[in-house]
């Protein structure tokens, strides 16, 4: 298996950070795109078009991004579908979604031409809630992110209004039927991340990808192997106990559905949990990686949602160093390091 990391064009994707990650032993990156600022101060560059809120990802821009990443001895493992305004009408089922789907299709084709094999995506609307607090209550005073459903469920309705589970499934099905065949043709796998947290709804917006059964429904709907899971070990720890996570890895891994993996420690239940260091969570990470190896997974594993030690940088150099070193040790312990 390979060690990956996520960086954001327009924010954390810098030469300095890529050098740092290479020094730590990272093999490659997932890259997302921060939208250009409306005030025009968004940092114009040859890659600015990737940050625009409309249109598709053009081949020449993707190639330039890939070459920049490769210049630091890293591979470009995947693109994270962003910014949100490129696909919000798809999620909401609004007029204009067909144009957004067509741009998604063009982006997949251009990614295939550029030799970028994976697009990571989710259906989350950021205004609909994520974590409810961040407090210095972790190990040794580490600041950790926390979720309390009793707090989150009081969030007001957003500008998007109410979106029912049935409507969300209808919109998602319409989208999948259009794009998954193209992904299969172009050789670009689409890896779907769960809603996080996996509660039924937040701010009156349904969160449909929240269980093993929801993924089974997706794969029954579109059986092509280009449709895959971004298997977030943190999210699945929120959904179930450790043995359930190991069984779920086997369930989807034996079908060849796991396209990428995120590693994160979680303590608590879905209704109330803390994000902790990966060695403090529910999982025996060596065992989890061993099960991934058992089912034939040989893709990239990325650290995810890092805790924040005292004195760290805004990006999190200390946290990144710990998590990547820990991940490398786990992979070596499981005999799974490429």
Whether residue 269 has pLDDT greater than 60: yes
CA distance 321 to 337: 17
What's the whole-number average pLDDT of the chain? 93
Whether residue 279 has pLDDT greater than 50: yes
pLDDT band, residue 44 (cuts 50/70/90): low
The region of weakest confidence among 79-83, 235-239, 320-324 is 79-83
CA distance 325 to 303: 10
What are 285-298's pLDDT values in tens digits?
A: 999 999 999 999 99
Q: Give the CATH number of domain 2-333.
A: 3.20.20.150
CA distance 6 to 126: 18
Give the DSSP letter string of 241-284: -HHHHHHHHHHHHTTT-EEEEEE-EEEEETTEEEEE-TTTSSS-
Closest CA to 58 of 127, 18, 110: 110
Q: Please name the residue that has the structure tokens 């997932």.
A: 30
Closest CA to 117 of 66, 69, 74: 66
Mean pLDDT of 250-275: 97
Closest CA to 303 of 283, 320, 280, 279: 320
Sign of CA dihedral 75, 80, 85, 88: positive
What are 117-171's pLDDT values in tens digits?
A: 999 999 887 655 589 999 999 999 999 999 999 999 998 888 888 999 999 999 9
Q: Please name the residue that has the structure tokens 């997949």.
A: 108
pLDDT at residue number 158: 85
Whether residue 176 has pLDDT greater than 50: yes
Domains of the chain, by residue range, sit at 2-333
Mean pLDDT of 256-260: 98
Host H or E run for residue 108: helix 97-114
The region of weakest confidence among 38-42, 221-225, 234-238, 281-285 is 38-42
pLDDT at residue number 39: 47
Whether residue 46 has pLDDT greater than 90: no
Mean pLDDT of 179-208: 95
Q: 44-47: long-range contacts (C-beta < 8 A, 24 or more apart)?
A: 47/9
Whether residue 81 has pLDDT greater than 90: no
Are the CB atoms for 44 and 19 separated by under 8 Å?
A: no
How buried is residue 174: exposed, middle or buried, by Cβ count under 10 Å (0-12/13-18/19+)? Answer: middle
CA distance 196 to 24: 28
Closest CA to 78 of 171, 6, 167: 6
pLDDT at residue number 43: 52
What is the side-by-side strand order in the sheet with 144-148? 133-135, 144-148, 272-276, 265-269
Name the token pair of 274.
Answer: 């803390």
pTM above 0.75, yes or no: yes
Higher pLDDT, 113 or 34: 113
**DSSP percent split of the chain into helix, strand, coil, nearest 5:** 40, 20, 40
What are 313-338's pLDDT values in tens digits?
A: 999 999 999 999 999 999 999 999 98
């Amino acid at each position: 298996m390979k060690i990956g990391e996520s960086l954001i064009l327009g924010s954390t994707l810098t030469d300095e950070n890529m050098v740092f990650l290479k020094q730590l032993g990272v093999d490659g990156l997932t890259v997302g795109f921060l939208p250009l600022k409306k005030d025009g101060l968004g940092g114009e560059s040859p890659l600015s078009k990737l940050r625009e809120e409309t249109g598709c990802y053009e081949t020449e821009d993707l190639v330039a991004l890939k070459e920049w990443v490769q210049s630091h001895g890293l591979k470009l493992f995947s693109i994270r579908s962003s910014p949100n305004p490129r696909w919000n009408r798809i999620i909401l089922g609004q007029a204009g979604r067909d144009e957004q789907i067509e741009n998604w299709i063009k982006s997949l084709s251009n990614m295939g031409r550029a030799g970028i094999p994976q697009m990571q995506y989710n259906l989350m609307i950021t205004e609909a809630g994520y974590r409810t607090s961040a407090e210095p209550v972790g190990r040794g005073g580490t600041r950790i992110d926390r979720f309390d459903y009793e707090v989150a469920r009081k969030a007001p309705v957003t500008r998007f209004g109410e979106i029912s589970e049935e409507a969300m499934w209808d919109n998602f099905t319409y989208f999948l039927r259009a794009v998954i065949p193209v992904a299969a043709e172009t050789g670009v796998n689409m890896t779907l991340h769960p809603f996080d947290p996996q509660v039924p709804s937040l701010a009156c917006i349904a969160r449909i990808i929240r269980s093993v059964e929801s993924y089974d429904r997706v794969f029954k709907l579109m059986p092509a192997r280009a449709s895959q899971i971004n298997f977030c070990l943190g999210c699945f720890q929120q959904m179930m106990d450790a043995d359930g996570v190991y069984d779920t890895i086997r369930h989807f891994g034996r079908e060849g559905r796991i396209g990428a993996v995120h590693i994160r420690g979680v303590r608590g239940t879905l209704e109330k949990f803390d994000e902790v260091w990966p060695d403090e969570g529910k999982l025996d990470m060596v065992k989890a990686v061993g099960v991934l190896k058992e089912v034939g997974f040989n893709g990239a594993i990325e650290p995810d949602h890092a805790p924040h030690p005292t004195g760290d940088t805004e990006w999190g150099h200390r946290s990144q160093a710990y998590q990547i070193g820990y991940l490398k040790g786990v992979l070596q312990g499981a005999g799974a390091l490429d």
